[in-house]
Each structure stands twice: as C-alpha cells, then as structure tokens.
Amino acid sequence: MDEQGHQVEGFEKANMQKSQMVFGGTSQQLVILINSVLFGMYSYWASIFILPAEVVEKITMISRNFLWSGAAKFKRVPHLSWQQACFYRSQGGPGIKDYAIWNKALIAKLVWALAHKKDTLWVRWVHGRYLKNQLWWSYSPLPDNSEKDKVNWAMLVWARTVIPRHAFIVWVLIQHRLPTKTRLAKIAKIEKTITCAVITVAIYHIWSSRNQVLFDSKQIPGSKTVHLIKDQVKHRIVHMNKILGKYSRCIDRLLQ
C-alpha cells in the first residue's frame, strides 16, 4: 500500500538519536516527545481522514518502540502494554495519546463544526454543496448508484461461471463501446495512406526513368526502379512514424 507507506514515512525517518540528545533520553522526556512531535505529525492527517487501521497500528508500533528503546525499530520487549501507556496520569499512566481514539475524536470535531456552522471555508462549502440549509442531524444523503435500475443482462455477464476477461469484453460490447471496428478502420486508413505513397513514388520514378531514356539515352533496370520505390517509401514512413507514431504496425512489413 503505497499511500499508507507515505503516511508513516516521516515517523520512521525521525532522527531519534538527535531527539534523545535534546530531550535527555529519559522515559518521561520520550513521552513528551511522542505527544508533541510524533502526535503532531499524526494529528494533521487524522483530522482530515479516517485513517486505515493498518496505518494506525504501524504508527502505534513505531511510538511504542521509541518509548521503550529510543528507536523506531523493535529492540526490546515493552514492560507494559500500550493500552496502559495511554492511561491518563490520574489513572496511573504516563498520558500518551491513543492514536485510534484521537482519530475518531478529530473527525468528530469536523462533525461538530458542521453541525454548528462554524465560519470556515470548508464548512460553508459543505453546507452550500450538500446540506443546503438543512440541519446536520436531519440530513440524508442522496441515493447513490446502488439505487439505479437493474438491467436484465447482469446475471448473464457477471455470473460466477463466466471467465472475468470474457465478462469484461461482453460488458463493453453491450455498452456499444467495443473498439474493434474503430481499430480496424484506423489500420485500413493507415494502409490506404501507405498505398498512396507507393503509387505516387512509383509514378515519379517511372516518369524519371522515361526522361532518362529520352534525353540521356540511359536505360535504368526495372529492379533498380523497384528498389528505389521501396527504399523511399520505407524511409518516408519511418520518418513519419517518429513524428506521429501512427505507422508502427506497418514498419515491420516495410523493413522486410
């Protein structure tokens, strides 16, 4: 999961040795560092998205390792569970913030801002786009695509016995978007264009050979004329393919 990897990348790249030098490296100072620096990085994303459980678990693991060993990677077995480390001081814990709970709390804060119409650009946009003078607590979202009328061919195409690639092609065919005819038309157009090039080059060289016979008394062999026609058409098509990229299907035949 590439996106999830980027979300925890900053935690793993934190300079833990430098942090220990600044904060002294004691357990309580590591708690302060987790609640300030690591949680500060986390809270930015947690206040925008409901983060995947795997991301939250990864960040929790990094924080737990840092608490007990001063490093992001696992080095020693924790003396107490992470749940106990998240107890408030009045409950007998060091007061480390629980990432999963705080993610829910920060998202709930967004709901609270919507419900009370907090004067921010995002809240105004949501009210103008979706709520439209309705109360948050009575708002019901519009039906999505799941409410669309069902089609009578769905079971035929998407049956479990159908091979997936066959089902996909049939689905595209039913939507009248199968590109086979379009592709064939393009190929035919390209071949027609090449045929025009061959004809015009042939006419030119026949005319040139005729002039050399009449005015210079030179007889050019027919095989040489055919070779010149093929060579010039080949070079022209290769050059145009570099510019337009439309003639790659015909290059192999021309180079034979």
| Over residues 106-116, mean pLDDT | 88
Cα 83 to chain center, whole Å?
36
Euclidean distance between CA atoms 208 and 202, whole angstroms: 10
Residue 128 falls inside a structural domain: no
The structural domain count of the chain equals 2
Domain boundary among the residues 92, 107, 122 is at 107
Q: What is the mean pLDDT of the chain?
A: 77
For residue 246, being part of any structural domain is answered with yes
Least confident of 118-127, 131-140, 166-175, 247-256: 247-256
In a domain, 201, yes or no: yes
pTM of the model: 0.43
Q: Is residue 220 part of a domain?
A: yes
For 1-26, b/e burial (b = at least 16 CB within 10 A) is: eeeeeebbeebeebebeebbeebeee
Does any domain span residue 116? Answer: no
In a domain, 141, yes or no: no
Let me know if residue 118 belongs to a domain: no
Tell which wins on pLDDT, 225 or 249: 225
Burial 32-52 (b: 16+ CB within 10 A, else e): ebbeeebbebbbeebeeeebe
Kindly tell me if the per-residue pLDDT of 6 is higher than 60: no
Which range, 3-17, 133-147, 155-169, 183-197, has the best average confidence (pLDDT)?
A: 155-169
Between CA 109 and CA 117 the distance in angstroms is 12
User: For residue 183, what pLDDT is reported?
Assistant: 63
Alpha helices in 175-221 (DSSP H): 180-215
For residues 102 and 7, state if they share a domain.
Answer: yes
Query: Whole-angstrom Cα distance, residue 254 to residue 189?
Result: 16
Domain match, 101 and 194 both: no
- Residues 101, 16 within the same domain: yes
Q: Which of 107, 132, 165 is the last residue of a domain?
A: 107
Torsion angle of the four alpha carbons 49, 52, 57, 58, in this order, in degrees rounded to the nearest 10: -80
The pLDDT of residue 186: 65
Could you say which of 42, 72, 107 is where a domain stops?
A: 107
User: Confidence class of residue 26 from pLDDT cuts 50, 70 and 90?
Assistant: low
d(CA 215, CA 219): 11
In 83-128, beta strands by DSSP E: none
CB 35, CB 96: distance < 8 Å:
yes
More confident position, 122 or 104: 104
A 10 A CB-CB count for 227 gives 12
Q: What is the pLDDT of residue 7?
A: 46
Total Cβ atoms within 10 A of residue 232: 16
* 6 and 103 belong to one structural domain: yes
Residue 80 and residue 64 in contact, taking contact as beta carbons nearer than 8 Å: no
Tell me what pLDDT residue 23 has: 39
Q: Which residue has the higher pLDDT, 249 or 104?
A: 104
Residue 184, domain extent: 180-255
Reported as a pLDDT band with limits 50, 70 and 90, residue 12 is low
Q: How far is CA 158 from CA 7, 146, 172, 180, in A?
A: 36, 16, 12, 22
Taking 70 as the threshold, does the pLDDT of residue 167 lie above it? yes
Task: Answer whether residue 138 is part of any domain.
Answer: no
- In this predicted structure, the answer to whether residue 87 has a pLDDT above a threshold of 80 is yes
